[in-house]
Every structure is written in structure tokens, then in C-alpha cells.
A = this chain, B = another copy of it.
Amino acid sequence: MELLKRRIQQDGTVKGNDVLKVDSFLNHQMDIALFEEIGKEFLRRFEGCGVNKILTIEASGIGIACITAQFFRCPVVFAKKSQTKNIAGDLYTTKVESFTHGRVYDVIVSQKFLGRSDKVLIIDDFLANGAALEGLIDLVHQSGAQLAGAGIVIEKAFQPGGDRLRAKGVRVESLARVKSMCEETGVEFLD
């Protein structure tokens, strides 16, 4: 998605060789006009797949998921990061390791909101090691729902998550795939 790639090159900031800060438009301040274009592009890629529910994870996936859901005319469910050990019986639960925060979260979704009749599109802002996305896929599988695929805004294609999940047969559509980045020369994309 050219508009997005240009925006990343213009307003993104690289720290070291693997931190890409896009907090001015994607995950702290959110440019809603850009999110509308992102939502349209996800619809273009997943139209006709029968998606009736969008699943994301708090917090930075929620805004993109909600704007995207307007184009699919379907509800959004967001998985919650829980550190509590008191998991009630009516939840799907999985564990996700956060490399950024150096800890493992329980991630939960109420069983009321995901089930056999659902065809799910997962939406998230970033894909790197793939831990969060794998956790969300696990929740979809537990529920018996079908997985249409995953729509990702920025994939760090030099990290292994995207390729590993594609090799498992998951349809992963990333709107900007970063091949490499460094502080001096900025971001280079695949394709």
C-alpha cells in the first residue's frame, strides 16, 4: 500500500536496527483518515471471504480494527491481556510472550463472542515474531470458528513471524513489509 509506505518513510523513526516508531500516526496518535484507507485496502484483499467478525488485541489494534469493521459491516472483538490467574470457565485463554515488555501475558476472549458460526479476520498493527498473532489464531481455533486470515498494517519481514505463519497455511496480508531498516538510511520495503 503505497500511501502507507510513504507515510512510514516520512513520519516513522528508526531506533537501532529493529525499532520502528510510528506513534505519530498509528499507535499513540492515530490518523483516522489513514485508517480509513487501511480499512478499504483490507476489504479489497478479504472481500468475498465471508468475514463476519474481526478479532484484534488491546490496545493498539483496536482503532484500526474498528475503522476496518465499518467496511465489513461486522462487529469487533478485542482480546484482553490479563495478568490475573483467576480465569473463569467461560473464557478462551492462551499465552503470549511479549518481546517488547519481556513477559508472558494470558490473553483472553469470552466464549460468548467467538464460536462455530464465525468467520474471523484478525487485524493488528504490527507483525514481528508473530507471538501475538499466533495467540489470536489459537483463540480462533479453540472457538471452532473459521479463520479467513490476518490483516497486518506493518510486517517486520526480517523477523520470522510472517513467514512461519504463511508456511503453516495462514493467509497473512501485510500492507507494508519492511525488508530492513537502520537509523542512517531509514526503512526499505519488500516488493
Contacts and interface: CB of A to CB of B under 8 A. Distances in A.
Interface string A26-38: 0011111101100
Contacts of A80: 28, 59
Say whether chain A's binding surface is mostly helix, strand, loop, or mixed. Answer: mixed
Interface in A35-70: 35-36, 58-59, 62-63, 65-67, 69-70
A28 B70 contact: no
Interface residues of A, number: 31
**Total identical chains:** 2
A76 interface: yes
B58 A112 contact: no
Interface string A76-116: 11101000000000000000000000000000011011000
B110 A28 contact: yes
A23 to B, nearest CB: 7
A160 interface: no
Interface of A: 23-25, 28-33, 35-36, 58-59, 62-63, 65-67, 69-70, 73-78, 80, 109-110, 112-113
23 contacts: A25-B75, A28-B110, A28-B113, A29-B75, A29-B76, A29-B77, A29-B110, A30-B66, A30-B75, A31-B75, A32-B66, A32-B73, A32-B74, A32-B76, A58-B59, A59-B59, A62-B62, A62-B63, A62-B66, A63-B63, A63-B66, A66-B67, A67-B70
